[in-house]
Amino acid sequence: MSEESTGVAEAESARRSLADKVNWLIGTARLADRGPYSNPEVAGLIQRTTGERVSDTTVWKLRNGQAANPQMKLIEAMARTFGVPPGFFFADYDTSQAGLLQEEVELLALVRSANISPDQLRPILGLSPAARQAVIDLIVAVTAAR
């Protein structure tokens, strides 16, 4: 079995319960130079991202399985914060998308760790492929020169 298929299989089996899914997101969607977010940090991140107030106790309950049936507004806020579809949190979510979802969550974490806002990213996405590659080449050259 390849490393990639092993990783996907592990990702699928690790996200069976709601608590497993929440813990996976919190562990995966983190800044590159630090460990997973604490419960108060997750609550603050949700509020900054969505405006939805969530207590760190609620996050703790989600993470340890005590909040097995949260309100839909909390599911939607978590989904928006971590860049996953709300359906991800439900038992019937199609786990065949796990590899792609992991890449998306990791990409969101990288963007956050670079402090890139959506307003800063939109102009880059609007460039032609050649211009976008020129920006990427410039970033690579600048970081290599450091």
pLDDT of residue 73: 94
Residue 14 has pLDDT above 70, yes or no: no
Q: Are 14 and 24 in contact (CB under 8 A)?
A: yes
CA 59 to the chain's CA centroid: 15
Structurally, what CATH architecture does the domain formed by 3-115 represent? Orthogonal Bundle (1.10)
Reported as a single tens digit per residue, the pLDDT across 116-137 is 777 787 788 788 888 888 887 8
Reported pTM: 0.58
pLDDT of residue 5: 46
For 2, phi then psi, to 5°, come to: -75, 160
Residue 76 has pLDDT above 90, yes or no: yes
**Residue 78: burial class (beta carbons within 10 Å; 0-12, 13-18, 19+):** buried
pLDDT of residue 72: 92
Provide the residue ranges of all domains of the chain, joining segments of one domain with +.
Answer: 3-115, 117-146
pLDDT of residue 52: 93
How does DSSP assign 40-66, residue by residue?
HHHHHHHHHHH-----HHHHHHHHHTS
Reported as a single tens digit per residue, the pLDDT across 31-44 is 667 777 899 999 99
